[in-house]
């Protein structure tokens, strides 16, 4: 499994299962380290939403196929992939919630200038 967190400007984030493909519980996320706070946060939220999709079982990788709610989407183009559409929507929703957190919004990222 290998997701690319494509935003308009390019690939900013990745998530993959570190343990197994079918019912993964151990994930690794990479986020580009030269993003501003908004892009960094949205990218991380986007990748975390993919973790949620996997843990909930909506998104599965089985025998080299990618299944969304049991339907094979291995051949579906990136922009049409339902898990990507959902994750792109949720990164905005969750980012709005993040902005509404009381300040200071502590976000543990040493790469972001405070
Ligand atoms: Zn994605």
Selection from 102, 13, 103 nearest residue 50 by Cα: 13
Query: How many angstroms is it from 75 CA to the middle of ligand 1?
Result: 16
- pTM for this model (two decimals): 0.81
Query: How many angstroms is it from 62 CA to the middle of ligand 1?
Result: 18
Q: Which sequence spans correspond to the domains of the chain?
A: 30-94
* Tokens standing for residue 101: 């957190």
Per-residue pLDDT of 64-103, as tens digits, reads: 899 999 999 999 998 899 999 999 999 999 999 999 988 8
Alpha carbons 21 and 16: distance in angstroms, whole number = 9
Per-residue pLDDT of 47-72, as tens digits, reads: 999 999 999 999 998 888 999 999 99
Task: Please compute the mean of the pLDDT values over residues 24-47 and round it to a whole number.
Answer: 90
Query: How many angstroms is it from 50 CA to the middle of ligand 1?
Result: 7
pLDDT value of residue 3: 53
């Amino acid at each position: 499994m290998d997701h690319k967190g494509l935003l308009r400007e390019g690939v900013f984030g990745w998530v993959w299962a570190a343990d197994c493909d079918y019912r993964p519980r151990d994930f690794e996320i990479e986020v580009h380290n030269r993003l501003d706070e908004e892009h960094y946060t949205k990218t991380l939220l986007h990748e975390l939403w993919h973790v949620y999709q996997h843990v909930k079982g909506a998104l599965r990788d089985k025998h080299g196929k990618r299944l969304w709610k049991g339907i094979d989407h291995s051949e579906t183009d990136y922009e049409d992939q339902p898990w990507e559409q959902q994750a792109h929507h949720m990164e905005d929703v969750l980012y709005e919630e993040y902005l509404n957190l009381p300040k200071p919004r502590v976000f543990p990222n040493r790469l972001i200038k405070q």
